[in-house]
Amino acid sequence: MRNIILSLACLTTLFATAVLVAAQDYKVIAVTDGGTISGTVKWTGPVPHELEFPVTKDPQICEPDGKKTTSLERLILGPEGGVANTVVYIKNISAGKPLDELPAQRRHLDQRHCHYIPHILLVPENGQLSMQSSDATLHTIHMDGAASYNLPFPFTNQVSTRTMSTPGLVNLRCNGGHVWMNAEMMVVTHPYYAVTDESGHFEFTNVPPGTYQIVAWHEGWGLAGKEQAYDVLTERAVQRPIFTEPKTWEKSVTVNANAGSTVNFAIGSK
């Protein structure tokens, strides 16, 4: 289990290093005759069982419908096989539109019914992440990776903000005993990132003409085991799920002036 944890830490470091190198190269320019890249990420092959985890704390808040388990939200498939929550980005882009054109809704995090909403966050380098809790219970957002915070949320709808100054991947977990809560945040150095919706769709606009590598990144949908964690409120040890490693796929695409290009990904367990 220790090897799994170390492996995940190494992946986080490698991702942070990759985007940090990109940060040194990316320049904001006036894009003329830009093109569009759009496409889908869809599941192929047998669908794995949805990961569920026991609701061991605050069931009246976390699962008001009376369920004894809750989804870990690691693999969300739409009715036509689209894979939601896949991060798609242009890997080798050195110049383009301003960073503030990233989707604003991915920079605000709510804690609702003991889940993080949205599950995938995109924050520009040196941009702010705003956070709040809609739940009438104590949540504590613990971040590790490219950002390291442990932030309590004892009051509902009280907004807290933090500046994300280091590019890379950030894992979010709750240290308030709600061990199933999990989310991922990418702090990024250019605006050509997107998160797929339930149809698996993504789109980049105003892309300078050229040939690029497009990467589809998914956080992974498997459960590798459990680890001992700590509930800061009850001061008791609890069991937290450990997930399998993220997965990536790459494709090349050429963008022509004032034209659209299509990139489709088919992903699966194999």
Q: Amino acid identity, residue 16?
A: A
Phi, psi of 8 (to 5 degrees): -65, -40
Question: Sheet holding 139-145: strands in order across?
Answer: 120-124, 182-188, 168-174, 139-145, 149-153
What pLDDT was estimated at residue 1?
45
121 CB neighbour count, 10 Å cutoff: 23
Spans of the chain, pLDDT less than 70: 1-24, 233
**Contact by Cβ (8 Å): 227, 208:** no
Task: Tell whether omega for the bond before 118 is within 30 degrees of 0, i.e. cis.
Answer: yes
pTM of the predicted protein model: 0.89
Q: What is the pLDDT of residues 193-224, one digit of tens each?
A: 999 999 999 999 999 999 999 999 999 999 99
pLDDT of 24 reads 55
* Rounded Cα distance, 177 and 143, in Å: 15
CA distances from 258 to 32, 88, 167, 192, 263 (A): 9, 21, 31, 17, 17
Q: Model confidence over 33-58: pLDDT tens digits? A: 999 999 999 999 999 999 999 999 99
CATH code that applies to domain 2-267 = 2.60.40.420
Position 223 scores a pLDDT of 93
Strands (E), 83-222: 87-90, 95-96, 108-112, 115-117, 120-124, 127-133, 139-145, 149-153, 160-164, 168-174, 182-188, 193-195, 201-207, 210-218
Instruction: Say which residues have a Cβ less than 8 Å from residue 39's Cβ, sequence separation at least 6.
Output: 88, 201, 202, 203, 214, 262, 263, 264, 265
